[in-house]
């Protein structure tokens, strides 16, 4: 059975497959949920990051929650390490925290702010600040950690965040999403405001992956868990189209296979280019999901060739900010 977790910008949504439809239930209403992370070893444990209300933890798949008392209220990124279970939280202003006891206690990784580039970090809509937009702990090495600053760069640590290397060569600086391949050590991927990139050496150096795409403002990112040379991104012509709900996004979902280039995916999706931004992408073996600004979620079961909209019953989410897919059975709400 596949389960979806989603952040709606307001609430947390749990979507459970039920025959030919999906049953959705909302929790954490009015908490400003904008990011999430799932424990890779126990998918019933899920964390929600909020704008204004810190981090929350559920041990039953999103039915009941408790506040984890993060020292900063505005959380823009969360990640749980598959290597050692460490929980990371990134905030605005840019601070990075780690918990090694499921969120009972937190420690700030202060060295991130000692990087030479730190004084130059600026988020264009709020140029007096920046935030930690993406956190990617390596699933193969508990000491290896990537962090993306919007807008500031892609930073790398080889000792669990105690020390840091500044923006990595070849990577984009306007980092929106980072991912590792779960089965191939050293393979990492980036989606960013200026394009896409990938690394074969554990994030130390990066190479552009832009051929075949006519849109460079990349946002959503997901990798095929069975094939390190297949990944998906969503992209718009620029930030105005991607983030202004009053404008058509003019977005495209792309797939990269083998040596590329990017291919625009169309089968079964709304009229191209897409009016609503596909903000969140997620994969499990054999399935790719795309969550849109208008609350729609599409699934492909043939690697992106064909898509169909999920029939969602119950508390239908009005918007999808972040999306996670898990294939394990979870307790019913």
Domain ranges of the chain: 3-326
Q: Would you place residue 333 in the very low, low, confident or very high pLDDT band (cuts 50, 70, 90)?
A: very low
Closest of 192, 160, 155 to residue 175, by C-alpha: 192
Measured CA distances, 253 to 93, 206, 232, 234, 279 (Å): 30, 22, 7, 4, 10
Residue 331 has a pLDDT of: 47
Question: What does the block give as tokens for 55?
Answer: 């981090």
CATH number of 3-326: 2.130.10.10
SS3 of residue 240 by DSSP: helix
Mean pLDDT rounded to a whole number for the chain: 95
- pLDDT tens digits, residue range 13-59? 999 988 888 999 999 999 999 999 999 999 999 999 999 999 999 99
Distances, alpha carbon 95 to alpha carbons 72, 79, 137, in Å: 8, 14, 16
Stated as kind and residue range, the H or E segment containing 242 is: helix 239-243
Percent of the residues in the chain that have a pLDDT greater than 70, as a whole number = 98
- Does this model's pTM top 0.75? My answer is yes
């Amino acid at each position: 059975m596949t389960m979806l977790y989603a952040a709606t910008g307001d609430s947390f949504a749990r979507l459970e497959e039920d025959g030919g439809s999906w049953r959705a239930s909302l929790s954490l209403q009015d908490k400003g949920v904008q990011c999430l992370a799932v424990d890779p070893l126990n998918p019933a444990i899920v964390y929600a990051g909020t704008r204004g209300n810190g981090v929350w933890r559920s041990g039953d798949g999103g039915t009941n929650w408790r506040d984890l008392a993060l020292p900063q209220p505005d959380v823009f990124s969360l990640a749980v390490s598959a290597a050692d279970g460490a929980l990371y939280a990134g905030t605005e202003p840019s601070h990075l925290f780690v918990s090694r006891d499921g969120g009972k206690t937190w420690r700030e990784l202060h060295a991130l702010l000692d990087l030479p580039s730190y004084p130059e970090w600026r988020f264009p809509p709020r140029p007096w600040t920046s935030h930690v937009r993406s956190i990617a702990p390596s699933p193969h090495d508990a000491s290896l950690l990537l962090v993306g600053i919007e807008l500031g760069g892609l930073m790398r640590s080889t000792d669990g965040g105690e020390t840091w290397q500044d923006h990595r060569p070849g990577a984009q600086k306007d980092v929106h999403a980072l991912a590792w391949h779960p089965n191939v050590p050293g393979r990492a991927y980036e989606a960013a405001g200026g394009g896409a990139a990938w690394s074969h050496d554990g994030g130390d150096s990066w190479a552009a992956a832009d051929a075949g795409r006519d849109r460079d403002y990349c946002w959503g990112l997901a990798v095929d868990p069975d094939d390190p040379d297949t990944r998906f991104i969503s992209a718009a012509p620029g930030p105005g189209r991607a983030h202004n709900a009053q404008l058509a996004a003019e977005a495209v979902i792309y797939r990269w296979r083998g040596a590329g280039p990017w291919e625009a995916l169309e089968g079964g999706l709304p009229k191209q280019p897409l009016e609503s931004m596909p903000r969140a992408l997620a994969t499990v073996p054999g399935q790719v999901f795309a969550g849109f600004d208008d609350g729609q979620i599409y699934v492909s079961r043939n690697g992106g060739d064909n898509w169909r909209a999920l029939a969602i019953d119950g508390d239908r989410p009005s918007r999808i900010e972040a999306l996670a897919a898990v294939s394990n059975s979870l307790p019913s709400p």
